[in-house]
Amino acid sequence: MHKILKNVNLLYIKTYLHKEDDKTIGDHICTFKGLCDSLAAIEKPLPDKEKVLCLLTSLCPQYETFTTTMLKPPRPSYYALVSKLQNLDQMRSWLSSHTDVPTTPQLVFYSQQQ
């Protein structure tokens, strides 16, 4: 029975949450947190590892490099992942406002790692 409820939780999040290109990562994280809080309110909380997986798989293709890297062991905690996503978004914004060169996700991620 627990496995069925777990699958329902994952299906719920995967069905209702995909990052749209016009939303900021901050808005996306807030929406994701709201879904997780709603599940916790009905006593069906997602474990930290599943939150990480669901959040990563809900990101749009421009986050593919980031997602692939974060899925490698050891995976970050949910809170560490949120922090890394926010840092990546800030770096993208900074690079796009300070350079004439179009920023690619790979360039931003590489810059963040340095």
Handedness of CA 111, 89, 55, 43 (dihedral sign): positive
CB 87 within 8 A of CB 112: yes
Q: Taking the model in full, what pTM does it have? A: 0.71
- Identify which of 10, 63, 2, 7 has the alpha carbon closest to the alpha carbon of residue 35: 10
**pLDDT above 90 for 84:** yes
Give dist(CA 19, CA 23) in Å, integer: 7
Q: What angle do CA 15, 104, 59 make, to 5 degrees?
A: 10
pLDDT tens-digit readout, 35-66: 888 888 888 888 999 899 889 988 888 889 99
pLDDT digits (tens, 9 = 90+) for 2-32: 444 455 555 555 545 666 667 788 888 998 8
Contact status, residue 12 vs residue 39, Cβ threshold 8 Å: yes
Q: Which domain holds residue 67?
A: 2-113
Whether 100 shows a pLDDT value over 70: the answer reads no
Counting the structural domains of the chain, the total is: 1
The larger pLDDT score, comparing residue 21 to residue 92, is at 92
